[in-house]
Amino acid sequence: MTHLIMAVNSGSSSLKFELFSMPAERTLAKGLFERLGSGSAVFTLRAGERRQQAEVALNDHQQAADYLLDTLLQQGVVDSLERIDGVGHRVAHGGETFRDSAPIDDAALVEIEKLSALAPIHNPVNARGIRAFLRRLPHAVTVGVFDTAYHQTISEAGYLYPLPYRYYQDYGIRRYGFHGTSHKYVAETCAGLLGRRDLRIISCHLGNGASVCAIDGGRSVATSMGFTPLAGLMMGTRCGDIDPSIPAFIAERENKSAQQLLEIMNNASGLLGVSGISNDCRDIVSAAESGNHRAALALTMFTDRIRSVIGAYATEMDGVDVVIFTAGIGENAAGIRRQVCRNLGFLGIRLDDNKNERHLTFIQQDGAPVIVAVIPTNEELMIARDVMRVGLRLPKEVQHVG
Ligand code: ADP
């Protein structure tokens, strides 16, 4: 039986959506609203051969959801809203409450709002997106898909910070990790392509935000983001791990508030902060190629940090079978992949330069012990699959028939 499932990703001024026909995993419509709340939002829709872009006066997520659903009806993408059986929402933070994607009822929605303390920018907006679609599609099952849930399998020793224990008890300060939906998707896709489940995978999600995840037999056992997505790797504008006493040092010298320091570490650091050029990896690569020292330095720092984490996670899992590259940089930047894999031959990681330049799915040298894969991520599809699994309770075998 065919189900129409909507995947929704609500940001503070944006709303991305993709409507799937499941279990065929066929996209019926996809697009986004940008600049929501500015008075003139930009709406982009792709449905079959049709493409549409329009400026529309929308102020919030409710109006965007209404506009989207009315447009899908008008354009005949769906003949009735009743046909949409499920809606899956990306939710930034599931805390320790949500260990997997979950059906959302009133109690779960309250829980998501409570977790706003841990994700003040994202969870309230995610909850608004959920309410907006619930109002128009009360018959559909609603499922929350949490960025943190996949990492709930990390051990206590792996998720605790060596701070006084009461901070964990009082405020929930621990490693949560993010990008879980993406790491899970690429790991499952790769395991499917290889026809094996018992793999030790190191997944590198390298986009504007970046994180590495160690996946042993399908379970996340370590990840580089932490209490917040600021931790771990160097990113487009985020510093990642630094000596924790640096913020206090700068605060004293420059009389800055905690909020100002967070702003510097989140938005003015990383590739942008070091290069002084851009947060966009393409700009940094071309500046480095034209001989700009700080751009080249930023790339070396970026890739060195990824290499260190790969080394650490190979240790964590007593070896590695597969390294996966995904997201904007991981999928497209052959030069970055080459730099990351430099000097990792001792682990069995050996890139084939030619396959790498051609962006093939498997880019390791013939006979190399470790598989290196380039797998495009697809968080929206993972969300739709989870609506089928936990919302409509259709096991995966059934989902993939027909
Ligand atoms: P987000 O985290 O916002 O979803 P993406 O996964 O789309 O980000 O990744 C965006 C990043 O991918 C940008 O830094 C962009 O420069 C980089 N990127 C995309 N294509 C290339 C390329 N061919 N070479 C280098 N970097 C690229």
| Residue with CA nearest ligand 1 atom 27 | 329
**Residue 396: inside a domain:** no
Same domain, 223 and 139: no
The reported pLDDT for the residue numbered 393 is 83
Query: Does residue 212 share a domain with residue 133?
Result: no
What is the per-residue DSSP string for 176-212?
A: --S-HHHHHHHHHHHHHHHT-SS-EEEEEEESSSEEE
> Are 83 and 213 contained in the same domain?
no
Alpha carbons 87 and 97: distance in angstroms, whole number: 20
Residue 163 lies in a domain: no
CATH number at residue 95: 3.30.420.40
Q: What is the pLDDT of residue 396?
A: 61
In a domain, 153, yes or no: no
Q: Ligand 1 mean position to 183 CA, how many Å?
A: 17
What ligand 1 atom has the least distance to the C-alpha of 377? 6
Please say which residue of 146, 168, 186 terminates a domain. Answer: 146
Told to judge if 147 belongs to the known catalytic residues of this protein, a careful annotator would answer yes
Residue 326 domain flag: yes
Residue 124 CB neighbours (<10 A)? 17
Task: Compute CA 193 distance to the chain's CA centroid, rounded to the nearest angstrom.
Answer: 21
- Asked whether residue 135 falls in the same domain as residue 275, the answer is no
In a domain, 152, yes or no: no
Indicate whether 142 and 205 sit together in one domain: no
The pocket around ligand 1, CB under 6 angstroms, is made up of: 207-209, 236, 280-282, 285, 327-329, 332-333
* pLDDT 10s digits, 345-383: 999 999 999 999 999 999 999 999 999 999 999 999 999
For residue 388, is it within any domain? no
For residues 312 and 241, state if they share a domain.
Answer: yes
Asked whether residue 349 is assigned to any structural domain, the reply reads yes
pTM for this prediction = 0.94
**From the alpha carbon of 283, which atom of ligand 1 is closest?**
16
Give residue 282 CA to ligand 1 midpoint distance, Å. Answer: 7
Q: Are residues 297 and 370 in the same domain?
A: yes
Place of tokens 């990351």: 340
117 and 264 in a single domain? The answer is no
- The packing angle between helices 293-316 and 334-341, to 10°, is 50
- Ligand 1 centroid, distance to 149 Cα (angstroms): 25
Structure tokens at 333: 């930047």
Name the residue range of residue 307's domain.
196-379
Low-confidence ranges of the chain (pLDDT < 50): 398-402
Among residues 81, 111, 146, the one where a domain terminates is 146
Query: Are 24 and 142 in the same domain?
Result: yes
Pocket of ligand 1, candidates 90, 204, 272, 282: which has the most ligand atoms within 8 Å of its Cβ, to mutate? 282
Q: Among candidates 221, 62, 228, which has minimal Cα distance to 147?
A: 228
pLDDT at 371: 98
Q: How many domains does the structure of the chain reveal?
A: 2
At 395 the pLDDT is 66
In a domain, 182, yes or no: no
Residue from 147, 216, 321, 386 carrying the catalytic annotation: 147
210 shares a domain with 116:
no
Domain end point (choices 105, 130, 146): 146
CB atoms within 10 A of CB 97: 16
The reply to whether 246 and 330 lie within a common domain is yes
Identify whether residues 217 and 359 lie together within a single domain.
Answer: yes
